[in-house]
């Protein structure tokens, strides 16, 4: 399939024209033959599965990366964007998926940085910020430190940064990933407002329903190339999925319940005080997971999910309340002892917590299992045992790699994650803690990981699932609990709950 | 790929330090030219064959450098920067000299006791930095720098107290080690009275132990894992705080041994003229040898060679032999740059190899090298 | 978007801000305490104008080195090569003050030479860390080795055979002019000699500032204000600091991070060089090998002590300069007097910790405090060797006790590569 371009638009409407953009990283073609026209006064969505090359393309448009081939036209003139400064000069602004904010600087400083010539760095700038904030209802106080802001407010600061520079083309990279449904609705309201003022909004996402609700046009990217651009009104999400991955998107839904009455994990009154004083990170958490049960935790990022996981894993010392696994009290036990007692752990950030990126796969197989066969032999590493078992994981979990001596860094995100899942399932754990198990992986790996979790659940595994993807959470879980400001709140039945209901509970708006 | 990845890997590993050496020689030459000194004469002397006595001096100096570099390397494998080897070996050597000088035990028992004391004191001094890091979050870089200075002051103070007053001489030193506790040297050349330190075997043993523990044991795995990713180590169940303290203790313990060949094979006492600055040389050599026991040995020999060969420069050409310090320092910088370039190249090569082996894979996100 | 409350409320209590008023109050409290201590212990040299003047001379190079560290670390580059750059500065000062360049010699040529030589060291550090991504500590260590060797080599080359010079030292150098206001100095001296509570202490402070004050000292003090203004009040400073806090964010806004980091590190070297030059030109009047005596590291310590802020750094430099001065003035007894203050201070800290129910640190504090006090009462003087430890011990203590309150730039010491935005 070659990229085709919608030719109905007149040229003066087109503010950004990308032609034959190509970009290659070592061993990876991130983009090729990308052709997109973006029109004034529209929201233009770019969809594709994780790893399809959307983010790279946007970094090219924002001058962070240079394309290897192709041309970019902005407002009819061909431009060479060799740094974000060029892009900003051309009227392009970008809100990154991972916010680009300096925590220890104030909102004002973050906003004026690099644009000091506009209104200085003092009172004039402050007035301007308040003016923009009021005009768009962004509710931003210029003198607060960014580190004191929540996720939603940070995103609004990012949008304000773009508006402050008077951008006419705004790129938002996966802006809804960290928002609850209600916040998403508000964001979309803002986007429509920007659109009505004649701005062009480029909206990157892999969530098709959202895309269809806000976008005017949708461009689908697959394996680095544009598949097609279609009006949002003329396609269904099923058709988009077909264009994106060539088939229907995998479905996380589990079949019949396998929940037993055998308690595996029991948490009572778990409290975790904040190290620097202030509100407790976790407060009186009570939670029970049975054999064969998947318990999902829903919550806005930063409400205590990571702390809960770390407390259960023993990575954070925690002496208020009790945690027991299969009836065995875990208080005072180290992470290693907890792992040996039957805990598996899929961390939320596989690069930071799951892998030794510069070590070969077989050494990564040992990680987390340094005291257990077949990896060790007394105090010595059993090299051949570990290698044999790594090969087994690579085969069984379909980890695509040339061999087990390959460095973990060289694998794609999906294959890295499959290796981690295989490793964590290796010693038949009785409890699996899965933090965002399919974040940032391609559709194939996503389906495979879901299937592995479902299979293990049938065999009696208890799973503590944390995910920001509400569809994943509702589909996989047997029970859903909501976490808010360190407290576990309502319990929902996934069979009846809607994402909107969860969203209200996650922000405390229904309380 | 038609080339064997393994041969390529080895070629890169050898090529990088060679490239760095060449760069360092060029930069040093540039300095000499700018200063108007005789470039050809300097390199002619430095790159000539050492004398018989020179070989012995090189081996001896390399022994001491080697121990120091291994001490540093233990920290490096853990991603800990033990800048404090300098203070640790001096305070340990002083302690050992006092213990050995007292001669509480006969013969080599005395030697063993003194060396044990050195290891313990070195470990304890490094342990302070380890404890500060795990309990108070103080960077070991800063604390070891401070501890170096404190060690200097403390040793000066204690030396004044413990020194034997030798009337007619202004040298302050501890009591001499009894004859029976000294460690004899090995004669290499019949006609040269100088000998190679007997404790060169200690250095070899320490090097072997280092290799074995780091590469073959689960403890070594934990240490390397913590070094390459502390966060992943924590998630895997490694008690990182404990590892930090243990590796600082080990590093300090080995640092305690640094002064031993000098004490028992050459000086026989700790005085104000005891060789200093070995800790910083150790950092340079550990970097040069890439924390590998054999690489470190080569690095130590190279540094010792440059030291020895530059000594006669003053007499021969009236050029300060300190010029080789510029070479040595530059080697550190260039070698680190060369290794980094090679590492990035290697990663890219690997990614290409993986991609070409898996042609059917979908395009992935830009993986950063 | 404001309808939905942020689900994440700030968990951290905002740190108390030090306002100008509070600083003044603390200074006054300090002065009264000091005066009381002087009277209780009878150690009049504690704050004689001679001690204070010497303190100023000792503090300036430490402070300048610290400023060097501040510039570099605020841009995210750790600089432990300060010591080496300072060494380069001592030689630069000696060489250019004596030989000059194109006939321009004397103290001000020395000052410029010191800055230039330090900046060369900074340039080397910048090339290694910013352009080639070398670990900052590694580069710093290498620069210290290179600088030491280079200066030893160059000094032997330059000064051997010069009258009064030699392999390791330069001939006597001309020093920058000094300012003395006699009409103020003499009456202040009388007042100081009275040894009155607080009044005499104030007089000696004033006298230290109007007698034999080197112009260079004055200029260097202005550099603190200039640094503060540049880094915290201009857009240049905002950009520079953003490179130390979040280079990716800075890059995403079109800032050339590499250029700012590079500039900052070169300036850092210039400051360290000037610190070395000050040692050669003001603190003494010759270049001597080993003149820096680890002051680059003390400067680093002062910067950390000052929480990466110019004001705090100045306080740290003053403190360390003061202890250094007492040591040089044979102040075993004087420092002995200070022991009492330290002991009482630590005991108070212990009590404070106890009230915050931190038993362990309160116990450690109490034991330490009692130990120090016992030391005070059982001895009359502290050996000179031990007083040299004071800055280092203080830094360790400050780091150990207050590390939670210290806030270094968030991306300090992390390698940065272009294209890391997003």
Q: Does residue B368 surpass a pLDDT of 50?
A: no
Subunits with 3+ Cβ pairs within 8 Å of A are B, C
What confidence score (pLDDT) does residue A4 get?
A: 44
A506 interface with C at CB cutoff 8 Å:
yes
| Percent of chain C predicted with pLDDT > 70 | 90
Q: Which of C82, C389, C415 to mutate to test the interface with B (most CBs of B within 10 A)?
A: C389
Average pLDDT, stretch A177-198? 84
Compute φ and ψ for A95, nearest 5 degrees.
-105, 115
pLDDT category of residue C222 using cuts at 50, 70 and 90: very high
pLDDT category of residue B210 using cuts at 50, 70 and 90: very high
Q: Cβ A64–C410 below 8 Å, yes or no?
A: no
Closest A-chain CA to B236: A368
pLDDT category of residue C17 using cuts at 50, 70 and 90: low
pLDDT category of residue A127 using cuts at 50, 70 and 90: very high
pLDDT category of residue A202 using cuts at 50, 70 and 90: very high
| Dihedral angle, C-alpha B236, B241, B247, B248, nearest 10 ° | 160
Q: Crossing angle for the helix pair B323-357 and B5-35, nearest 10 degrees?
A: 150
pLDDT category of residue B117 using cuts at 50, 70 and 90: very high
Chain-centroid distance of CA C195 in Å reads: 30
Q: Does residue A511 surpass a pLDDT of 70?
A: no
Q: Does residue C14 surpass a pLDDT of 50?
A: no
Average pLDDT, stretch B115-130? 95
Average pLDDT, stretch A428-433? 92
Compute φ and ψ for C19, nearest 5 degrees.
-90, 170
pLDDT category of residue C422 using cuts at 50, 70 and 90: low
> Chain A to chain C, count of Cβ pairs less than 8 Å apart?
163
Question: Could you tell me the two tokens for C114?
Answer: 């010191």
Q: Cβ B225–A223 below 8 Å, yes or no?
A: no
Q: Give yes or no for a contact between B172 and B271, defined as CB atoms under 8 angstroms apart.
A: yes
> Average pLDDT over chain A, rounded to whole?
87
For C:372-411, CB contacts with A below 8 A are 404, 407, 409-410
Structure-token match 């203790």, residue found: B249
Of residues B222, B231, B367, nearest to A28 (C-beta): B367
Q: Does residue A129 surpass a pLDDT of 90?
A: yes
Average pLDDT, stretch B342-367? 68
A285-344 per-position pLDDT tens digit: 999 999 999 999 998 888 888 899 999 998 888 778 888 998 888 888 899 999 999 999
| Percent of chain B predicted with pLDDT > 70 | 94
DSSP three-state, residue A202: strand
In whole angstroms, what is the distance from residue B90 CA to residue B174 CA? 13
From residue A221, alpha-carbon distances to A38, A71, B259 in Å are 15, 18, 65
**Preceding peptide of C354 cis, ω within 30°:** no
Q: Cβ B347–A366 below 8 Å, yes or no?
A: no
DSSP H helices in chain B: 5-35, 39-46, 52-77, 85-102, 107-136, 140-162, 200-216, 218-228, 230-235, 240-257, 260-262, 278-288, 293-310, 313-317, 323-357
Average pLDDT, stretch C274-279? 95
From residue B110, alpha-carbon distances to B241, B266, C86, C128, C154 in Å are 35, 17, 44, 47, 46
What confidence score (pLDDT) does residue C379 get?
A: 74
Average pLDDT, stretch A1-7? 42
Q: Does residue A8 surpass a pLDDT of 60?
A: no
A445: distance to nearest CA of chain C, Å? 24
Nearest to A257 by CA among A292, A295, A298, A297: A292
Residues of B in contact with A417 (CB under 8 A): none
- A12 compared with B115, residue with greater pLDDT: B115
What confidence score (pLDDT) does residue C151 get?
A: 93
Lowest mean pLDDT of A290-294, B2-6, C47-51, C246-250, name the range.
B2-6
Average pLDDT, stretch C401-417? 81
In whole angstroms, what is the distance from residue C221 CA to residue C193 CA? 28
Question: Could you tell me the two tokens for A462?
Answer: 């208890």
pLDDT category of residue B182 using cuts at 50, 70 and 90: confident
Q: Cβ B238–A336 below 8 Å, yes or no?
A: yes
In the beta sheet, which residues pair with residue A46? A204, A219
- C345 compared with B339, residue with greater pLDDT: B339
What confidence score (pLDDT) does residue A12 get?
A: 60
Q: Does residue A21 surpass a pLDDT of 80?
A: yes
pLDDT category of residue C119 using cuts at 50, 70 and 90: very high
Nearest to A191 by CA among A174, A212, A214, A168: A214
How much is the ipTM here?
0.85
Average pLDDT, stretch B225-238? 92
What confidence score (pLDDT) does residue B355 get?
A: 79
What confidence score (pLDDT) does residue B4 get?
A: 64
Average pLDDT, stretch A57-68? 90
Q: Does residue A163 surpass a pLDDT of 50?
A: yes
In whole angstroms, what is the distance from residue B147 CA to residue A432 CA? 45
Of residues B235, B238, B352, nearest to A354 (C-beta): B235
B242-284 per-position pLDDT tens digit: 999 999 999 999 999 999 999 898 888 888 888 888 998 999 9
Residues of B in contact with A400 (CB under 8 A): 358, 361
What confidence score (pLDDT) does residue C12 get?
A: 38
pLDDT category of residue A356 using cuts at 50, 70 and 90: very high
Closest B-chain CA to C124: B333
What confidence score (pLDDT) does residue C343 get?
A: 76
Structure-token match 């129910």, residue found: C357
Lowest mean pLDDT of A111-120, A168-177, A479-488, C3-12, name the range.
C3-12
What confidence score (pLDDT) does residue B188 get?
A: 79
Q: Does residue B206 surpass a pLDDT of 80?
A: yes
Closest A-chain CA to B343: A358
- B367 compared with A503, residue with greater pLDDT: A503
Give the strand pairing for A320-325 and A328-329.
antiparallel
Lowest mean pLDDT of A456-465, B339-348, C147-156, name the range.
B339-348
DSSP H helices in C42-81: 49-74
What confidence score (pLDDT) does residue B166 get?
A: 62
C298-320 per-position pLDDT tens digit: 899 889 888 899 988 998 898 88
What confidence score (pLDDT) does residue B66 get?
A: 96
Nearest to B31 by CA among C273, C154, C266: C154
Q: Does residue A467 surpass a pLDDT of 50?
A: yes
Lowest mean pLDDT of A432-441, A482-491, C149-158, C375-384, name the range.
C375-384
Q: Does residue C242 surpass a pLDDT of 90?
A: yes
Q: Does residue C410 surpass a pLDDT of 50?
A: yes
Q: Cβ B330–C146 below 8 Å, yes or no?
A: yes
Average pLDDT, stretch C219-233? 93
* Highest-pLDDT range among B88-97, C1-10, C361-370: B88-97
What confidence score (pLDDT) does residue C16 get?
A: 47
Q: Does residue B169 surpass a pLDDT of 80?
A: no
A24 interface with B at CB cutoff 8 Å:
no
Q: Does residue C37 surpass a pLDDT of 70?
A: yes
């Amino acid at each position: 399939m070659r990229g085709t371009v919608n030719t109905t638009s007149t040229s003066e409407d087109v503010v950004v024209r990308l032609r034959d953009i190509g970009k290659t990283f070592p061993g990876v073609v991130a983009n090729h033959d990308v052709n997109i026209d973006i029109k004034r006064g529209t929201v233009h969505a770019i969809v594709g599965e994780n790893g399809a090359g959307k983010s790279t393309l946007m970094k090219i448009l924002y001058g962070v990366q240079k394309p290897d081939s192709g041309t970019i036209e902005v407002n009819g003139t061909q431009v060479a964007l060799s740094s974000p400064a060029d892009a900003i000069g051309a009227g392009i602004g970008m809100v990154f998926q991972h916010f680009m904010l300096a925590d220890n600087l104030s909102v004002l400083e973050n906003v004026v940085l690099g644009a000091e010539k506009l209104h200085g760095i003092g009172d004039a700038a402050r007035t301007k910020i308040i003016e923009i904030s009021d005009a768009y209802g962004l509710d931003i106080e210029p003198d607060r430190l960014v580190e004191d802001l929540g996720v939603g407010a940070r995103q609004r600061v990012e949008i304000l940064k773009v508006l402050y520079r008077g951008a006419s083309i705004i790129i938002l990279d996966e802006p809804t990933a960290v928002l609850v449904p209600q916040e998403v609705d508000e964001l979309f309201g803002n986007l429509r407002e920007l659109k009505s003022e004649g701005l062009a909004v480029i909206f990157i996402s892999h969530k098709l329903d959202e895309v269809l609700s806000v976008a005017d046009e949708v461009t689908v990217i697959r394996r680095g190339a544009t598949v097609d651009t279609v009006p949002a009104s003329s396609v269904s999400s099923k058709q988009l999925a077909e264009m994106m991955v060539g088939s229907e998107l995998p479905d996380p839904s589990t079949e019949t319940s396998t929940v037993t009455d055998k308690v595996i994990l029991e948490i009572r009154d778990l409290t975790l005080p904040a190290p620097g004083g202030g509100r407790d990170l976790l407060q009186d958490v009570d939670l029970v997971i049975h054999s064969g049960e998947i318990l999902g935790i829903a919550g806005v990022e930063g409400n205590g999910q990571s702390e809960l996981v770390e407390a259960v894993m023993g990575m954070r010392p925690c002496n208020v309340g009790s945690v027991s696994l299969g009836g065995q009290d875990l208080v005072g036990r180290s992470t290693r002892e907890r792992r040996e007692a039957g805990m598996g752990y899929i961390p939320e950030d596989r690069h930071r917590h799951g892998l030794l990126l510069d070590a070969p796969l077989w050494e990564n197989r040992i990680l987390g299992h340094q005291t257990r066969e077949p990896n060790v032999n007394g105090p010595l590493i059993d090299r051949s045992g570990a290698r044999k078992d790594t090969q087994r994981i690579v085969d069984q979990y379909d980890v695509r790699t040339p061999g087990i001596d390959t460095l973990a860094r060289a694998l794609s995100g999906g294959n890295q994650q499959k290796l981690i899942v295989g490793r964590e399932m290796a010693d038949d754990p009785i409890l699996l803690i899965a933090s965002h198990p399919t974040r940032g992986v391609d559709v194939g790996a996503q389906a495979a990981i879901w299937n592995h979790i479902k299979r293990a659940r049938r065999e009696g595994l208890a799973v503590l699932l944390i995910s920001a993807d509400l569809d994943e959470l509702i589909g996989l879980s047997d029970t859903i609990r909501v976490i808010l400001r360190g407290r576990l709140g309502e319990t929902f039945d996934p069979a009846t709950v809607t994402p909107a209901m969860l969203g209200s509970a996650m922000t405390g708006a229904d309380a | 790929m038609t080339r064997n990845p393994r041969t390529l890997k080895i070629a890169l590993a050898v090529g990088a330090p060679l490239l760095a050496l060449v760069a360092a020689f060029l930069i040093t030459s540039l300095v000499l030219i700018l200063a108007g000194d005789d470039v050809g004469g300097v390199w002619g002397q430095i790159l000539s064959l050492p004398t018989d006595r020179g070989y012995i001096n090189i081996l001896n100096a390399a022994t001491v450098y080697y121990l120091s570099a291994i001490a540093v390397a233990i920290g490096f494998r853990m991603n800990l920067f033990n800048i404090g080897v300098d203070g640790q070996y001096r305070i340990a050597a002083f302690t050992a000299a006092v213990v050995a000088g007292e001669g509480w035990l006969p013969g080599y028992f005395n030697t063993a006791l003194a060396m044990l004391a050195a290891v313990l004191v070195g470990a304890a001094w490094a342990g302070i930095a380890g404890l500060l890091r795990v309990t108070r979050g103080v960077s070991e870089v800063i604390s070891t720098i401070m501890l170096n200075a404190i060690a200097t002051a403390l040793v000066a103070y204690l030396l004044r107290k413990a020194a034997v007053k030798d009337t007619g001489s202004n040298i302050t030193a501890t009591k001499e080690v009894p004859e029976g506790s000294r460690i004899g040297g090995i004669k290499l050349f019949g006609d040269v009275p100088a000998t190679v330190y007997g404790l060169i075997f200690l250095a070899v043993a320490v090097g072997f132990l280092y290799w074995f523990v780091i590469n073959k044991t689960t403890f070594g795995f934990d240490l390397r894992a913590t070094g390459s990713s502390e966060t992943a180590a924590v998630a895997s169940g490694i008690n990182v705080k404990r590892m930090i303290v243990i590796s600082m203790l080990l590093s300090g313990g080995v640092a305690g041994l640094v002064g031993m060949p000098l004490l028992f094979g050459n000086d026989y006492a700790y005085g104000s003229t005891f060789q200093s600055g070995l800790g910083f040389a150790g950092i340079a050599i550990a970097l040069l040898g890439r924390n590998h026991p054999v690489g470190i040995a080569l690095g130590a020999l190279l540094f010792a060679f440059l030291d020895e060969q530059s000594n006669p420069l003053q007499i021969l050409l009236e050029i300060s032999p300190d010029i080789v310090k510029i070479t040595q320092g530059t080697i550190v910088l260039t070698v680190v740059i060369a290794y980094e370039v090679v590492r990035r190249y290697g990663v890219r090569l690997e990614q290409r190899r993986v991609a070409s082996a898996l042609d059917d894979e979908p395009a992935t996100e830009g993986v950063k090298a | 978007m404001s309808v939905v409350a942020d689900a994440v409320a700030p968990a951290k209590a905002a740190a108390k801000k030090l306002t100008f008023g509070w600083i003044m109050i603390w200074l006054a409290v300090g002065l009264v305490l000091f005066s009381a201590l002087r009277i209780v212990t009878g150690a009049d040299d504690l704050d004689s104008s001679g001690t204070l003047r010497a303190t100023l001379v000792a503090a300036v190079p430490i402070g300048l080195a610290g400023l060097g560290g501040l510039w570099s670390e605020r841009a995210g580059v750790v600089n432990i090569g300060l010591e080496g750059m300072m060494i380069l500065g001592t030689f630069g000062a000696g060489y250019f003050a004596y030989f000059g360049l194109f006939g321009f010699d004397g103290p001000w040529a020395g000052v410029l030479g010191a800055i230039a030589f330090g900046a060369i060291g900074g340039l080397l550090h910048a090339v290694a860390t910013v352009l080639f991504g070398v670990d900052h500590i590694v580069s710093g260590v290498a620069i210290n080795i290179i600088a030491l060797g280079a200066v030893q080599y160059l000094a032997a080359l330059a000064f051997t055979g010069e009258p009064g010079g030699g392999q390791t030292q330069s001939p006597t150098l001309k020093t920058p002019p000094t300012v003395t206001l006699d009409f103020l100095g003499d009456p202040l001296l009388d007042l100081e000699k009275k040894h009155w509570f607080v009044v005499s202490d104030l007089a000696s402070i004033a006298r230290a500032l109007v007698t034999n004050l080197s112009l260079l000292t004055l200029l260097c003090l202005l550099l603190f204000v200039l640094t503060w203004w540049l880094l915290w009040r201009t857009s240049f400073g905002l950009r520079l600091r953003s490179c130390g806090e979040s280079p990716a964010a800075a890059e995403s806004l079109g800032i050339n991070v590499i250029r700012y980091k590079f500039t900052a590190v070169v300036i850092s070297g210039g400051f360290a060089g000037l610190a070395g030059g000050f040692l050669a030109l003001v603190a003494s009047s010759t270049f001597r090998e080993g003149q820096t005596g680890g002051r680059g590291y003390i400067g680093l310590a002062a910067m950390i002590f000052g929480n990466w802020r110019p004001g705090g750094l100045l306080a740290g430099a003053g403190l360390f300069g003061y202890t250094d001065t007492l040591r040089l003035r044979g102040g075993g007894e004087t420092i002995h007097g200070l022991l009492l203050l330290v002991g009482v201070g630590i005991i108070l800290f212990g009590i404070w910790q106890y009230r915050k129910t931190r038993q362990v640190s309160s116990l450690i504090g109490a034991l330490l405090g009692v130990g120090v006090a016992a030391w005070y009462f059982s001895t009359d003087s502290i050996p000179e060797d031990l007083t040299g430890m004071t800055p280092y011990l203080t830094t360790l203590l400050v780091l150990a006790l207050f590390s939670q309150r210290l806030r270094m730039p968030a991306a300090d010491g992390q390698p940065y590569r272009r294209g890391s935005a997003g």
